[in-house]
Amino acid sequence: MTLADLPPASLRLKLDTQALVANWRALASLSGTARTGAAVKANAYGLGVSHVVPALRDAGCEQFFVAHWSEVPDVLEHVPAAMVSVLHGVSSEAEAAFARSSGAAPVINSLQQAAIWQQSGGGRCHLMVDTGINRLGISPAESGSELIASLDIDMLMSHLACADEDAPQNARQLQAFRDVSAGIAHRQRSLANSAGIALGQDYAFDLTRPGLALYGGVPRPELQGVIRQVAYPEAAILQVRDLQAGDGVGYNARFTATEPMRVATVSIGYADGFLRARGGACALQHGGREMPVLGQVSMDMIVVDCTAAPDLVAGDFLSVPFDLPREAGRSGLSQYELLTTIGSRFDVLVNPA
């Protein structure tokens, strides 16, 4: 059977790669003399490696970070392997073999990983030192190991735990990183993520690794007015109906109409990243008019009050608010969660007119 052409989706994501590049350049400027890379793990924080990596590459970005080896092939479609690093390192012979065949650099996180990498033949790698976040990385006490000394370490790295806060731990980690750097042979150093860049150039070293702020997130007040929104989700109306007083809406009838009203069922739900936490205080928009969400968010649908927009019909697209700091404050979700839970059912429109 021959299928007809796939129709346009009832979800679309307008992606402003000009804003993305502007964010990267702003972060690069704040990084001073340090080069600026990009975290593109989790499919570029949900916005699409195929759109994000070429835009940043063309802007001058030369280092891209992913978490899993499964993410490497998609990135390699757009940049050479020398530009790609894998944060989770090599935990098995199979991962070491893939690293060697792909050319992407592993970030070694433990003595065990160091042994696996060296037993596979060694070569260029990065090394993560845990200076206080207690996730991945060797401890400073392990930095004098002969195994660590045997590594060909390009980039010595650590990760800030509290950079989005004015916490004493930031300065402690900075000093710990400086201290441990003196005893490990390396070619370059990297500490700052998006929030770390905003802490100042003392944290920049040789390479910064922004993620969230590239995509419109604002982790610290210093970046307000600097970082631009990048993603603009929209969802189509599936059906419009009139309710009478006493009619309930959605699962568990969490909303009940107190008077006649017009509502629209919209093609977005928690499978598309519009989680239930977003439902209560959120309103979709059309032409400057707001349409509050009513009742429970379903997997594929929400219902909105369109009394203020009686002209809307099935097929009309509504804007889904996606100013990340504002929506995080409204929903209680983190800006990271809002981005990375975006589903796969959107048609992505890059720089639409």
* pLDDT tens sequence across 26-79: 999 999 999 999 999 999 999 999 999 999 999 999 999 999 999 999 999 999
Q: Is 323 exposed, middle or buried (0-12, 13-18, 19+ CB in 10 A)?
A: middle
pLDDT of residue 353: 79
Q: Is the dihedral of CA 332, 335, 336, 342 positive or negative?
A: positive
Q: State yes or no: is 14 an active-site residue.
A: no
> Do residue 158 and residue 259 come from a single domain?
no
Residue 339 belongs to domain with CATH number: 2.40.37.10
In tens, the pLDDT along 182-206 reads 999 999 999 999 999 999 999 999 9
In the predicted model, what is the mean pLDDT of the chain?
Answer: 97
Mark whether 163 and 282 lie in a shared domain.
Answer: no
Same domain, residue pair 344 and 261 = yes
Q: Is the pLDDT of residue 105 over 90?
A: yes
Q: Is the pLDDT of residue 343 over 90?
A: yes
| DSSP conformation letters of 28-48 | HHHTTTSEE-EE-HHHHHTT-
- Tell me: do 181 and 240 sit in the same domain: no
**What's the distance, CA 133 to chain centroid?**
19
d(CA 293, CA 249) in angstroms, rounded, equals 10
Give the closest residue to 126 by CA, choosing from 98, 161, 88: 88
Domain range for 274 is 231-350
Q: Quick one: tokens of 24?
A: 């990267």
Same domain, 50 and 174: yes
Whether 183 and 237 share a structural domain: no
Of the candidates 14, 41, 45, 232, the residue annotated as catalytic is 41
What single DSSP character describes residue 258?
A: S
Three-state SS string over 190-256 comes to ECCCHHHHHCCHHHCCCEECCCHHHHCCCCCHHHCCCCCCCEEEEEEEEEEEEECCCCEECHHHCEE
**224 in a structural domain:** no
- Confidence at residue 59, expressed as pLDDT on a 0 to 100 scale: 98
247 lies in the same domain as 202: no
**Cβ-based neighbour number of residue 76 at 10 Å:** 17
Q: Residue 258 — very low, low, confident or very high, per pLDDT cuts 50/70/90?
A: very high
Q: Are residues 125 and 237 in the same domain?
A: no
- Domain shared by 203 and 255, yes or no: no
pTM: 0.96
| Catalytically annotated residue among 45, 215, 251, 336 | 251
Q: Give 1's pLDDT tier (boundaries 50, 70, 90).
A: confident
Backbone angles phi, psi at 153, to 5 degrees: -90, 115
Q: Is the pLDDT of residue 281 over 90?
A: no
Per-residue pLDDT for 330 more than 90?
yes
Cα R_g (the chain), whole angstroms = 23
Which has more confidence, 232 or 1?
232
Structural domain includes residue 66: yes
51 and 112 housed in the same domain = yes
Is residue 280 scored above 90 in pLDDT?
Answer: no
DSSP letter string, 59-91? HT---EEESSGGGHHHHHTTS-GGGEEETT---
Residue 180 included in any domain: yes
pLDDT tens, residue by residue, 141-168: 999 999 999 999 999 999 999 999 999 9
Q: Model confidence over 110-151: pLDDT tens digits?
A: 999 999 999 999 999 999 999 999 999 999 999 999 999 999
